[in-house]
């Protein structure tokens, strides 16, 4: 009997140890040193509040994250929680890999504090919250005041024509360029903003599901982008630039204009004096409108997680008032919590350009068709390869537009056939 009791106690102790040593795996994909540092800070607070629980943070470099995460999943390496870009939600949700957060949101005390847009975008697939956005990314135009002054440009350009003329004057300065073009990973936003602005609308599809990307207006906008590069108004190596390179190109004074989201503020504000740069509304097209992209990223729970309740607890820590505000202040996203919008941090001059855009009736935010399962591959693979071919002259702008339209037409018509 004594041996049985000892054995039972040993089993209980072993079981207790197993429970006490729970490890959650969290993958971040929009990675930078500052973001990782902030994530580690919030996670440390979660671990302190949940003794015996450890969080393993897996950081994937953004430029390679789509392929690397797909490889992880294919190999059966399923995390518990992952950072979910808006363009990936449909792919993973439609393949049954994301857990619905609806049951958790129903009981969460912070749900009423979420903005309507946060819930709307989080439910973009099957009207189900497969992700919980942590912040919005709205493109606006950074401009270097010192370079503009040196080139004789009195104010930031308000139209696309003025943008080209200002870029020419800046490019005439030794070693300087007008536009910090993002020709590499994540470059789709710039192409869409300027092409839609040239076309006068941001409608991606006709009613029959055919893409508008090879319509006359969109082709003009795509040609406009290619001409910027070919005419030397963007740095030659910007054909390969991603987020970090474009931001560095701006704060180093290599180029004067940068279309970016608020997250670029972090690195720029650390390296430039407030009086040396500004943020303005994106240049408007011939119809007097501009269509800056608005996107989001959030936190999702993988359906294969063995610790779903604990995973939600981690997500709620990241998304709760303390964690979400700390995260957004350090990453630069616009807040998703109603209460955060009254924070003095967001009322300063540095965010004025974005709030000006939100208040201007001729600024129409563009939501990418992320509901398409094929969109993640389009954005993170096809667009990079083909746009670089166009910039380097291997294909024409019209051929680029036709390739994009062909791919998106098939994806949209497939989507419509399932409705």
Task: Give the model confidence (pLDDT) of 38-84 as tens digits.
Answer: 999 999 999 999 999 999 999 999 889 999 999 999 999 999 999 99
Tell me the pLDDT band of 346, cut-offs 50, 70 and 90.
confident
pLDDT computed for residue 5 by the predictor: 32
By percentage, how much of the chain surpasses pLDDT 70? 95
pLDDT band at 2 (very low <50, low <70, confident <90, very high): very low
Res 339: pLDDT: 85
User: pLDDT at position 295, please?
Assistant: 87
Q: What's the token pair of residue 15?
A: 């079981």
Closest CA to 28 of 64, 55, 65, 54: 65
Provide the pLDDT confidence category of residue 34 given band limits of 50, 70 and 90: confident
pLDDT tens, position by position, 334-344: 888 888 767 88
Answer whether residue 267 shows pLDDT above 50: yes
Kindly list the domain boundaries of the chain, sorted by start residue: 25-137+295-350, 140-292+372-417
- Give dist(CA 262, CA 252) in Å, integer: 18
Look at residues 99, 145, 137 and name the one whose alpha carbon lies nearest to residue 299.
99
Cα dihedral 62/114/124/68 (nearest 10)? 20
> CA–CA separation, 210 vs 218, rounded Å?
14
Q: What are phi and psi of 67, to 5 degrees?
A: -70, -40
**Who has greater pLDDT, 300 or 15?**
300
- pLDDT of residue 6 exceeding 50, the answer is no
What is the distance between the alpha carbons of residues 27 and 23, in angstroms, rounded to a whole number?
A: 13
Could you tell me the two tokens for 417? 């056939």
Q: In which element (H, E) is residue 121 found? A: helix 116-122
Q: Report the pLDDT value the prediction gives residue 117, as an integer from 0 to 100.
A: 80
Give the pLDDT score at 116. 84
For the chain, give the number of residues: 419
Place of tokens 């398409």: 372
For the stretch 233-237, contacts whose Cβ atoms lie closer than 8 Å and that sit 24 or more positions apart, written own/partner, are 233/164, 233/167, 233/168, 233/171, 233/177, 233/178, 233/179, 234/177, 234/178, 234/179, 234/180, 234/181, 234/183, 235/177, 235/180, 235/181
- Geometric angle at alpha carbon 344, from 351 and 157, rounded to 5°: 15
* Interior angle at CA 315, CA 313 and CA 319, nearest 5: 115
* Residues 260, 36, 323, 367, CA torsion sign: positive
- Rounded to a whole number, what is the distance in angstroms from the first to the last CA of the chain? 65
Tokens found for residue 44: 């440390």
Rounded mean pLDDT, 165-192 = 98
Contact 369, 297 (CB under 8 A): no
Q: Nearest to residue 23, comparing CAs of 303, 298, 311, 299?
A: 311
Q: How confident is the model at residue 302 (pLDDT cuts 50, 70, 90)?
A: very high
Q: Give yes or no for residue 14 having a pLDDT over 60.
A: no
> What SS3 state is found at 285?
coil
Among the ranges given (17-26, 28-37, 43-52, 391-400), the one the predictor scored with the smallest mean pLDDT: 17-26
Nearest CA-CA partner of 259 in 326, 345, 357, 339? 357
- Tokens standing for 287? 């119809």
Single pTM value for the model: 0.74
Contact 400, 208 (CB under 8 A): no
Q: Say what percent of the chain tops pLDDT 90.
A: 79
378, pLDDT greater than 70: yes
Cβ neighbours, 10 Å, residue 291: 26
Tell me whether strands 177-179 and 140-144 are parallel, antiparallel or unpaired: unpaired
How many Å apart are CA 382 and CA 369, to the nearest integer? 15
- Residue 85 pairs with which residues in a beta bridge? 297
The whole-number pLDDT of residue 4 equals 35
Q: Comparing 25-137+295-350 with 140-292+372-417, is the CATH topology the same?
A: yes
3-state helix, strand, coil in the chain (%, to 5): 55, 15, 30
Q: What is the pLDDT of residue 358?
A: 77
From 418, 407, 369, select the one nearest 90 (Cα to Cα). Answer: 369
Closest to 30 measured CA to CA, from 138, 142, 134: 134
Average pLDDT over residues 24-30: 97
Round to whole Å and give the CA distance between 140 and 293. Answer: 9
Burial of 110 from C-beta contacts in 10 A (0-12 / 13-18 / 19+): middle
The SS3 of residue 106 is helix
Mean pLDDT of the region 136-162: 97
128 DSSP β-pair partners = 125
Q: Which of 321, 320, 365 is nearest to 343 (CA)?
A: 321
**Residue 149's pLDDT band (cuts 50, 70, 90):** very high
Higher pLDDT among residues 113 and 295, named by residue: 113
pLDDT reported for residue 53: 97
pLDDT value of position 120? 86
Q: How far from the centroid of its chain's Cα atoms is residue 207's Cα?
A: 28
Q: In terms of CATH architecture, what is 25-137+295-350?
A: 3-Layer(aba) Sandwich (3.40)
pLDDT exceeds 60 at position 20: no
Domain 140-292+372-417 falls in which CATH fold?
D-Maltodextrin-Binding Protein; domain 2 (3.40.190)
């Amino acid at each position: 009997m004594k041996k049985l009791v000892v054995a039972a106690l040993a089993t209980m102790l072993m079981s207790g140890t197993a429970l006490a040593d729970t490890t959650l795996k969290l993958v971040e994909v929009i990675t930078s040193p500052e973001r990782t540092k902030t994530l580690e800070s919030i996670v440390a607070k979660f671990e302190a509040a949940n003794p015996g629980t450890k969080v393993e943070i897996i950081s994937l470099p953004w430029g390679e994250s789509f392929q690397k995460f797909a490889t992880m999943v294919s190999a059966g390496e399923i995390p518990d929680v992952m950072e979910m870009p808006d363009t990936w939600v449909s792919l993973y949700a439609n393949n049954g890999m994301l857990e619905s957060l609806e049951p958790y949101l129903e009981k969460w005390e912070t749900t009423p504090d979420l903005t309507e847009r946060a819930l709307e975008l989080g439910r973009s697939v099957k009207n189900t919250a497969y992700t919980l956005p942590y912040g919005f990314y709205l493109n606006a135009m950074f401009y270097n005041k010192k370079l503009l002054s040196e080139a004789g440009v009195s104010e930031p350009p308000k139209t696309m024509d003025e943008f080209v003329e200002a870029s020419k004057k800046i490019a005439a300065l030794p070693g300087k360029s007008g536009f910090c073009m993002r020709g590499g990973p994540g470059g789709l936003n710039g192409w869409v903003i300027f092409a839609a602005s040239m076309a006068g609308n941001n409608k991606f599809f006709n009613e029959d599901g055919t893409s508008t990307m090879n319509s006359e207006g969109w082709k003009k906008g795509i040609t406009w982008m290619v001409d910027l590069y070919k005419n030397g108004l963007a740095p030659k190596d910007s054909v390969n630039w991603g987020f970090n390179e474009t931001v560095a190109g701006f704060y180093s004074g290599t180029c004067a204009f940068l279309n970016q989201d608020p997250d670029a503020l972090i690195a720029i504000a650390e390296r430039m004096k407030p009086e040396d740069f500004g943020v303005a509304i994106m240049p408007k097209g011939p119809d007097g409108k501009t269509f800056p992209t608005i996107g989001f990223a959030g936190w999702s729970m993988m359906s294969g997680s063995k610790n779903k309740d604990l995973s939600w607890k981690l997500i709620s820590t990241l998304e709760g008032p303390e964690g979400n505000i700390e995260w957004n202040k350090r990453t630069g996203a616009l807040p998703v919590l109603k209460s955060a919008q009254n924070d003095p941090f967001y009322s300063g001059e540095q965010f004025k350009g974005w709030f000006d855009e939100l208040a201007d009736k001729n600024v129409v935010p563009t939501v990418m068709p992320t509901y398409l399962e094929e969109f993640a591959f389009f954005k993170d693979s096809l667009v990079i390869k083909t746009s670089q071919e166009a910039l380097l002259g291997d294909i024409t702008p019209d051929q680029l537009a036709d390739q994009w339209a062909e791919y998106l037409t098939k994806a949209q018509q497939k989507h419509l056939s399932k409705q």
